[in-house]
Homo-oligomer: A and B are copies of this chain.
């Protein structure tokens, strides 16, 4: 297993001022770089405390690039529907060059009605815009004199500058897993997978990953070269009860934030988002204990979190990469730094040792 950090702010100005939040995140970036973690990522959202401090993940990642040498930098994800493909391909290519090839480019469809409305984009075009725009970005990265005639954009012949550092292009992840078909499509397209286990049952995710892995191999790709990134909220403390108290508080604040952001799902449906209208029910019942028991959170003492990770490895394979949501902003940066340090010094090294020879995973 590899580990990194994903920043998903759920604070607004009343909770923690933005400059303070970014200072704290950059301090955690420095720590992650120093401790040898694999990556830092940040989300793209708008308007609500739920992610809204980060409307442009590339801007934060570029700041991280400017002060690090080694750690990978990931969008988690960026939304192609909200920007012209030339613009998106261009700024990601700049980040790839500035960081000397450390970009992991994850693309998502977005799911908040208010975001689509602000950009004047119909949610019912979400799937087709996603597919088309990701393809356009990849073509701009890898081709020259590109001519694109799509349903939403047409351009060319143009040759994007700068050319990407990573060739033929940076690793492409798609943020998905809610449907078996989107997992199969990701594998057929040669895209890596990034998802949030919290939004589905363990059995559903196992089944989706099995589809992804088998379709990856069926598409003629070498088994084992697929990549799966899973995000988990994470609070570690030497004292288990302290970790749980902090984890519960953080979970409740995160739940409040998503509840506010998805409220407008209550009165709408979209063919491109089946079942999402149920999102409006999020947050009606406190569920920290259930989520912890179900393995959706990494919260506890170092020993407890090791056990939680062993279970995740058994469920999803020990070759998955874990993105730790250590700093929604509601806890102090000292708490977040404690989590990162304990993960790097007491959890991850012992996991690797316990792994021993690579285990066969259940598919």
What residues make up the interface of A, taking CB atoms closer than 8 Å to B?
12-13, 18-19, 22, 26, 46-49, 52-56, 58-60, 62-67, 82-84, 86-87, 90-91, 93-95, 97-98, 100-101, 114, 117-120, 153-156, 158-163, 165
Determine whether the beta carbon of A47 is less than 8 Å from that of B161: yes
The interface residues of chain B lying within 8 Å CB-to-CB of A165 are 18-19
> A94's contact among B55, B66, B117, B153, by CB below 8 Å, is which?
B55
A58 contact set on B, CB distance < 8 A: 56, 58-59, 62, 91
List the B side residues contacting A120 at CB < 8 Å. 153-155
Q: Which residues of B contact A117 (CB under 8 A)?
A: 155
In the complex, A70→B363 CA distance in Å? 53
The complex places the Cα of A48 from the Cα of B155 at a distance, in Å, of: 15
Q: Smallest Cβ distance from A100 to chain B, in angstroms?
A: 5
Listed A/B pairs (24) with beta-carbon separation below 8 Å: A13-B161, A22-B94, A46-B86, A46-B90, A46-B158, A46-B161, A47-B160, A52-B161, A55-B86, A55-B90, A56-B94, A58-B58, A59-B91, A59-B98, A60-B62, A62-B63, A62-B66, A63-B63, A63-B65, A67-B67, A83-B84, A84-B119, A86-B118, A114-B158
For the complex of A and B, list the 5 residue pairs with the smallest distance between their C-beta atoms, beginning with the closest.
A55-B90, A66-B66, A63-B66, A18-B162, A52-B161
A59 CB, min distance to chain B CBs, angstroms: 4
| A97 with B22: CB separation less than 8 A | yes
Q: How far is the CA of A94 from the CA of B61 in the complex (A)?
A: 11
Which residues in B have their C-beta under 8 angstroms from that of A18?
93-94, 97, 161-163, 165
Given contacts A59-B59, A91-B56, A118-B86, contact A22 B98 (CB under 8 A): yes
Bound CA–CA A46/B87 (angstroms): 9
Docked CA distance A154–B162 (Å): 32
In the bound complex, residues from chain B placing their C-beta under 8 Å from that of A86 are 46, 55, 118-119
Distance between Cα atoms of A84 and B119 in the complex (Å): 7
Which of B19, B87, B100, B160 interacts with A19 by CB under 8 Å?
Answer: B100
Q: Are B161 and A48 in contact (CB under 8 A)?
A: yes
Contact partners of A54 in chain B: CB under 8 A = 94
The one of B66, B83, B95 in contact with A64, judged by C-beta atoms closer than 8 angstroms, is B66
Is B83's CB under 8 angstroms from A119's CB?
A: no
Contacting pair A82 B91 (CB below 8 A): no
CB distance from A281 to the nearest CB of B (A): 24
Find chain B residues with CB under 8 A from A101 CB: 19
Q: How far is the CA of A214 from the CA of B13 in the complex (A)?
A: 40
Distance, CA A98 to CA B160, complexed state (A): 28
A95, closest chain B residue (CB):
B59
